[in-house]
Structure 1
Amino acid sequence: MRLKSINLSPIRYWFQNVGDNSILITIFTLIWLLGINFIAFIWNLGSVGLIDETEPLFAEASRQMLITGDWITPFFDGQTRFDKPALIYWFQAIAYKIMGVNEWAVRIPSALAAISVTVMAFYVVKWHLTEKDRLDQTTNLPRRYFIATLTSGMIALNPEMIVWGRVGVSDMLLTGGIACSLLSFFVGYAQNSPPSRWPNPWYVTSYVLMGAAVLTKGPVGIVLPGFILIAFALYLGKFKQLWQEAQPVLGIFIVVIINAPWYVLVTWRNGWNFINTFFGYHNIERFTEVVNGHSAPWYFYFLVVLFGFLPYSVFLPAALIKFMGWKFWQNSWRSYIISQERSQHLGLFACFWFLGVFIFFTIATTKLPSYVLPLMPAAGILIGLFSSDLFTHKPTDKSFRLSSWANVAFSLTIAIALLHVLQLLGTDSAAPEFYQQLQHSGLTNLGGWIWLIAAIAVACLNLIRSYRIVLPTNILAFVIFLALVLMPALFMMDEQRQAPLRQLSALAVSEIKPHEELVMVGFQKPTVSFYSRKAVTYLEDAQEALDYIRTQSVTTKNSHSLLLLLEHQEFMTMSLPLENYKPMGKKGAYHLIRVPLPPIKKSHSLSKA
């Protein structure tokens, strides 16, 4: 017996009442965009401390830039930092000037970049559907806004976008530049303006944003979108036409004009040190070799997309097939695509965008979860457009029905994993009490129940064939999961892992003597540099610390002691006699001690060193 499709009241009310009122729909859209962006990127943005190890490197380099007035060469603890170009440091330093040196200022550039992506995606999807209505000689105003809001919601509310939109590093700034550049290029392409002396303003906007992407993370800011756009143009057989229309030579000139001043000045000041470090190590070697041990198997990014874009990622295979076609390489399919108006190529464009980023970084040898962040907006657009036929009189596509049941299975898998995750977690020497606190909090069980209820809800929707509400239900489940599980877990992790370092850094500032050196032993935690506002010497282990104490005892003339901040394990390994150190404080897994120079009594370890 087949169950009859049921139109549940919220969606039905939208299409029958709100959707036909342009004022109400505009108000709803503004509230929606403000709401999802606030929840995803602004809420509690500065309420937790900086997260080791990468974020404070950017934060402290930007602070040094503001203090020294050197806006060309980034420094961390007195050493040049050529990992990334200057734009992220400039934005953070400007934010410091406006908001003060704090966590909000560190992260607001990333948050604003993420917000720009969701808003731009909303605009382009709505514009695409408006053009579709024009071609179909209909006015489906509710669908335009509903699908656009749905798309923006999926882009904002997923683990990858939320994590990198809330961390003060360059990845979200790069994603904002690339995503908005590609979307701007598509609008210019879709408007199909006749060739003229100057390209469509949307093309110019695209080139400016590419320039910003290059100034954020280097050549990848133009190589990656260029790779996507060339593949798209070649597939459609429009390369020559687009070359004349978009005038990419002008685009390259714009990118050069934006970037040349900083690249020339930083090279002039630092010479081959900058060229070898930035272009050689951080660009060429990262693509061709494993850097910092960041290797992964070929299927790594399948897992990153599956879990990084949860819970919607299970809809991606069907969406890609819908817009690329099973036989996308055959002339018949290409002819069908080419016969459409350009404005209707958004789905295909998003396919090339998604696959271009995915393939590019799969080929690269060094692999990190953040590398595929630029494909997340394309994933949201693909699934949003994939669901758009649900809001017409067409029968529900079989692939969407199957994807909805896959969504049920995926949500159940997440639920089971969360209910049993405590059995898989190991101990963390930097946060020894975190496991116990997490267990007592019941957060993992709560998360499991949230996704179990979501799975049951989607299964019920599938049974009554109310497929329109499947994706909104997933968004709602993720918001609840974020608010009730992820956010409290973040605060708990901050309290256990980062707060002790902040507290001991503050203590070090209050206790440090003139010319006394602050040394950290163990894993490098750059938050100590940021929160102490001091240059910190980082040593790898206890043996290196003992060697350093011995050396400083001989060479140091201006100070009679060192301040050491070290993990408990390193502290025990050093085996310092009580006469050779003064306890200054202990927080969490860390000790702050003062060691006299030279040591009052030579320990066995010091003698051996």
Structure 2
Amino acid sequence: MNWKSRFSQPVLLPLVSRWEKYPHRLWLLSALWLALLAGISVWLRLGSTGLLDETEPLFAEAARQMTVTGDWITPYFNEATRFDKPPLIYWLTAIAYQVVGVNEWAARFASAFAATGLAIFTLVTLRRFGLPRPAIQQSASSASADVTEPSRPTALWLSAWIGAALVVLNVQTIAWARIGVSDMLLNGCIGSALLAFFWGYAQPNQPQAQNRWYLAFYILSALAVLAKGPVGIVLPGLVILAFLLYTGTWRSVLGEMRLVRGSLVFLAIALPWYGLVIWANGADYIESFFGYHNVERFTRVVNNHSAPVWFYFAVVPLAFLPWSAYLPIAIARLRIWQLQRWRQQPRSTHLGLFALLWFAVIFGFFTIAVTKLPSYTIPLLPAAAILVGLFWSDQMTRPPGPRSKQSLSRGVWISHIANLGLILLLAAVVFYSPNWMGNEPEMPQLAELVRQSRITLWGSLIWLAVAFVELGLLLRRQSRWIWSVQLIGFLAFLLITLLPAMTIVDAQRQLPLRQLATTIVQVQQPEEPILMIGLRKPSLVFYTQRPITFIAALSDVPDQLKKLTRRLSRPRSKVRSLLLIGRPVKFEDAGITPDQYDTIADAGVFRLARITVPRRS
């Protein structure tokens, strides 16, 4: 066999087949595989940049307040209650603070842990149930099966390795796993709950194991509700209902799930905190959390987060980069329209179908919702990873020779061409991206610094190299290796372009605020008020560990300053000055002239000043 024909064979298959006699080696290899990928994509330099305004510091400071006040029921930020989210993210972050200290790494630990845990659970699930096609299941017991058909364990290992890699190696997961907010924690809880349900569903002949997995589903769903509210049970419930209706198993499975017992377990975990926080805060909490942050977000536009109905058709492909081009064929190959075929298959072969309905239900749910944000689609990304992982496992293990389904072959070919075009588009976008920077007044030098660093040039070259290699594989009809080329290219892009870009953005946008926060701690006099005008940067509250008054509307600044200076000028007032933070141009727009304040420090585009108030006679 010459080198060309040898390369045309899936060399991973004989390697895995030989190691099947030593499963501990394959599990060790799997652990190292996930440790490498999650270590680079999620944990590497996790705490090297400051908290990102405006949302992340709200969570970080609310968790810190719990450690200070000892009140683990009512979240607070800047001396006011914060009812936006339930407490699970605050609790985990507060525990991390107590273990490793109050810092950025601890603030992001829960998100990184959730992403990693979900990837591990996905790998284990795919290793058990991730058959890329029923033929492999049948070949294990059929004497007439094609001898070129790979073994069942080989196909499962490939599904597990590829699918788990895609869980952590996509744009949106990397972004949200590195930010200390509740979105990735919700994703981890919902994704794990759905996978736990499938473990129970797929083992109808093992009642003890089935009961344990259904119990795990109820516990994880309760944690999802504690992570972000009712959506934590609504989404899994809708996915499971759609799946059971499609498979026609709803009567038997709902009986297996022991709904009464499960509901009691669910309520015992999820309900106590809600009861305590309502008891402590009454109608204020109910109206804010349930009314504003749940019902109103679904039924009307909140915080100007409106978008057209096709919004997520654009967001999801961007979120799932660089694997998006293969999502349509990964869905189409399942042939969901063949209802009877699916109903005749054993439950253990339904993972691909389950992932498809998981993806579709969550996509449809948030498409219907009036308020739209890119982060809302995070819970469907694990399903997309499973679907595409199964597709690539199918490509890796499909025996050579003419395809029996030419339409599918054409679909795969079209997907490869679309992926090649997408990679070339990424190369162009990355190369020209500095031309689109600089619109944010807080980072006026960003574009120039990015150009000087040449990270976008290197990033563009990486994607060009990926496209060149993929084109060569297509011409040699070795397309089964495209996923590995793309994975290596994405890791290189992450290390050479994305992570350095985050450092540059942090130095421009957030570092000046941290520097001023340090100065405030040094120069603030006892009880001296701190005001920020023209914008709201909650990170100042976290880094100063002091309350700050934010006056975003410049038209309100004169009246607010008059009231404050009148109070400070009273004879009994112990303090005669206030600290003012903002951009100098905002000072002028608010009618504050340089002769009215003393400049203490400038950092980036921000200025810290002190206004001294004369004593009133």
Same fold (TM over 0.5): yes
Aligned with 1:392 (options 354, 376, 398)? 398
Q: Which residue of 2 aligns with 1:119?
A: 120
- What is the 5 A alignment of 1:591-606? 591-598=607-614
| Equivalent residue letter for 1:361 | F
Distance 1:595 1:8 in 2: 74
Q: Which residue of 2 aligns with 1:431?
A: 443
Q: Which residue of 1 aligns with 2:174?
A: 162
Is the CA contact (8 Å cut-off) linking 2:473 and 2:482 kept in structure 1?
A: yes
Is the CA contact (8 Å cut-off) linking 2:162 and 2:392 kept in structure 1?
A: no
Distance 1:532 1:379 in 2: 41
Is the CA contact (8 Å cut-off) linking 2:327 and 2:387 kept in structure 1?
A: yes
Pair 1:232 & 2:238 matched: no
Q: Deviations over 1:422-461 (max 9, x none)?
A: 3333421111111221122222222222112111211111
Select between 15-24 and 58-67 the one with higher mean Cα deviation. Answer: 15-24
Aligned with 2:12 (options 11, 14, 25)? 14
| Equivalent residue letter for 1:444 | T
- What is the 5 A alignment of 1:118-197? 118-129=119-130, 135-137=138-140, 139-193=151-205
Is the CA contact (8 Å cut-off) linking 1:158 and 1:308 kept in structure 2?
A: yes
Q: Which residue of 2 aligns with 1:553?
A: 565
Aligned with 1:401 (options 413, 416, 423)? 413
Q: Which residue of 2 aligns with 1:352?
A: 357
- Displacement of 1:8: 3.6
Identical pairs, percent: 40
- The 3-state SS of whatever aligns with 1:584 is strand
- The 3-state SS of whatever aligns with 1:169 is coil
Q: Deviations over 1:262-297 (max 9, x none)?
A: 000000010000000000000000000110011111
Distance 2:430 2:399 in 1: 39
- The 3-state SS of whatever aligns with 2:440 is coil
Q: Which residue of 1 aligns with 2:342?
A: 337
Is the CA contact (8 Å cut-off) linking 1:571 and 1:591 kept in structure 2?
A: no
Is the CA contact (8 Å cut-off) linking 1:60 and 1:76 kept in structure 2?
A: yes
Q: Which residue of 1 aligns with 2:37?
A: 36
Distance 2:202 2:593 in 1: 74
Is the CA contact (8 Å cut-off) linking 1:518 and 1:536 kept in structure 2?
A: yes
| Equivalent residue letter for 1:407 | N
Select between 14-23 and 459-468 the one with higher mean Cα deviation. Answer: 14-23
Q: Deviations over 1:560-586 (max 9, x none)?
A: 111011023213324534442111100
Distance 1:129 1:171 in 2: 27
Distance 1:542 1:276 in 2: 29
Is the CA contact (8 Å cut-off) linking 1:583 and 1:592 kept in structure 2?
A: yes
Is the CA contact (8 Å cut-off) linking 2:42 and 2:174 kept in structure 1?
A: yes
Figure out how many residues of one structure are paired with residues of the other and give that number: 589
Q: Deviations over 1:467-500 (max 9, x none)?
A: 2211111111110110000000000000000000
Aligned with 2:482 (options 453, 467, 470)? 470
Is the CA contact (8 Å cut-off) linking 1:55 and 1:168 kept in structure 2?
A: yes
Q: Which residue of 2 aligns with 1:47?
A: 48
- Displacement of 1:334: 1.1
| Equivalent residue letter for 1:540 | A
Q: Deviations over 1:209-238 (max 9, x none)?
A: 000000110000000110010011011111
Select between 25-34 and 119-128 the one with higher mean Cα deviation. Answer: 25-34
| Equivalent residue letter for 2:564 | Q
| Equivalent residue letter for 1:154 | L
Pair 1:511 & 2:516 matched: no
Select between 255-264 and 121-130 the one with higher mean Cα deviation. Answer: 121-130
- Displacement of 1:598: 4.4
Is the CA contact (8 Å cut-off) linking 1:521 and 1:570 kept in structure 2?
A: yes
- Displacement of 1:508: 0.4
- Displacement of 1:259: 1.4
Distance 1:223 1:599 in 2: 59
Are the structure 2 counterparts of residues 425 and 7 from structure 1 closer, same or farther at C-alpha, using a change threshold of 3 Å? farther
- What is the 5 A alignment of 1:292-331? 292-325=303-336, 328=337
Distance 1:89 1:377 in 2: 24
Distance 1:411 1:338 in 2: 38
Are the structure 2 counterparts of residues 199 and 496 from structure 1 closer, same or farther at C-alpha, using a change threshold of 3 Å? same
Q: Which residue of 1 aligns with 2:369?
A: 364
Are the structure 2 counterparts of residues 507 and 80 from structure 1 closer, same or farther at C-alpha, using a change threshold of 3 Å? same
Distance 2:584 2:485 in 1: 46
Select between 579-588 and 506-515 the one with higher mean Cα deviation. Answer: 579-588
Q: Deviations over 1:525-584 (max 9, x none)?
A: 100000000011001144423322211111232321110110232133245344421111
Q: Deviations over 1:82-120 (max 9, x none)?
A: 101111100000000001000011000110000011111
Is the CA contact (8 Å cut-off) linking 1:62 and 1:90 kept in structure 2?
A: yes
Instruction: Give ranges in structure 2 of 5+ residues lacking alignment.
Output: 142-150
| Equivalent residue letter for 1:64 | Q
- Displacement of 1:244: 0.8
Is the CA contact (8 Å cut-off) linking 1:173 and 1:216 kept in structure 2?
A: yes
- The 3-state SS of whatever aligns with 2:607 is strand
Aligned with 2:297 (options 263, 274, 286)? 286
TM-score, normalisation: structure 2: 0.92
Distance 1:471 1:572 in 2: 55
Is the CA contact (8 Å cut-off) linking 2:515 and 2:603 kept in structure 1?
A: yes
- The 3-state SS of whatever aligns with 2:350 is helix
- Displacement of 1:147: 2.3
Q: Which residue of 1 aligns with 2:146?
A: none
Is the CA contact (8 Å cut-off) linking 1:358 and 1:372 kept in structure 2?
A: yes
Distance 2:454 2:73 in 1: 49
| Equivalent residue letter for 1:436 | E
- Displacement of 1:361: 0.4
Distance 2:191 2:547 in 1: 37
| Equivalent residue letter for 2:222 | G
Pair 1:456 & 2:468 matched: yes
| Equivalent residue letter for 1:363 | I
Distance 1:599 1:120 in 2: 65
Q: Which residue of 1 aligns with 2:222?
A: 211
Is the CA contact (8 Å cut-off) linking 1:554 and 1:598 kept in structure 2?
A: no
Q: Which residue of 2 aligns with 1:562?
A: 578
Q: Which residue of 1 aligns with 2:234?
A: 223
- The 3-state SS of whatever aligns with 1:17 is helix
Is the CA contact (8 Å cut-off) linking 1:549 and 1:597 kept in structure 2?
A: no
Distance 1:300 1:108 in 2: 30
Q: Which residue of 2 aligns with 1:605?
A: none
Select between 430-439 and 490-499 the one with higher mean Cα deviation. Answer: 430-439
Q: Which residue of 2 aligns with 1:604?
A: none
Instruction: Give ranges in structure 1 of 5+ residues lacking alignment.
Output: 601-609
